[in-house]
């Protein structure tokens, strides 16, 4: 667990770092595509191909893996429609929706400080 008395400059033992909830969440949603998918699904549910067309540079395989991972974590729901061919729609769960506010705060911070970060070697 992340001990509350520690500061950012205090060395954290590896076992405690691995058990930290922040580390755990970042490991689950901090990859290249998960945040993009979460943000898009925050606007409305998407069918797979519609979502694939909306994310430039993602392969079908990677989108499938990302959606499965987010579904496994309980952040995304998958609904199958009995059409021919079967339609599948993805949407955020309540847990996934609760992630939108912190992601928005992170996005605002990134926009405000991108120049400072980009200037560092």
Q: Domain residue spans in the chain?
A: 31-118
Rounded to an integer, the average pLDDT of 99-108 is 92
The model's confidence at residue 13, banded by pLDDT at 50, 70 and 90, is: confident
31-118: which CATH topology? Arc Repressor Mutant, subunit A (1.10.10)
Q: How far apart are CA 43 and CA 105, in angstroms?
A: 17
Quote the percentage of the chain above a pLDDT of 90: 61
Q: How far apart are CA 62 and CA 33, in angstroms?
A: 8
CA angle 97, 56, 45 (to 5 degrees): 30
**Which pLDDT belongs to residue 5?**
52
Q: Are 95 and 75 in contact (CB under 8 A)?
A: yes
Q: Would the pTM count as exceeding 0.75?
A: yes
């Amino acid at each position: 667990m992340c001990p509350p008395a520690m500061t950012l400059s205090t060395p954290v033992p590896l076992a405690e770092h691995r058990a930290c909830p922040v580390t755990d969440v970042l490991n689950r949603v901090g990859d290249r595509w998960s945040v993009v998918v979460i943000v898009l699904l925050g606007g409305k549910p998407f069918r797979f191909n519609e979502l694939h067309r909306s994310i430039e540079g993602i392969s079908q395989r990677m989108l499938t893996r990302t959606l499965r991972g987010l579904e496994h974590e309980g952040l995304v729901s998958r609904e199958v429609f009995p059409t021919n061919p079967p339609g599948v729609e993805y949407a955020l769960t309540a847990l996934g929706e609760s992630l939108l506010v912190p992601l928005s705060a992170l996005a605002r911070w990134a926009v405000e400080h991108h120049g400072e970060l980009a200037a560092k070697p």
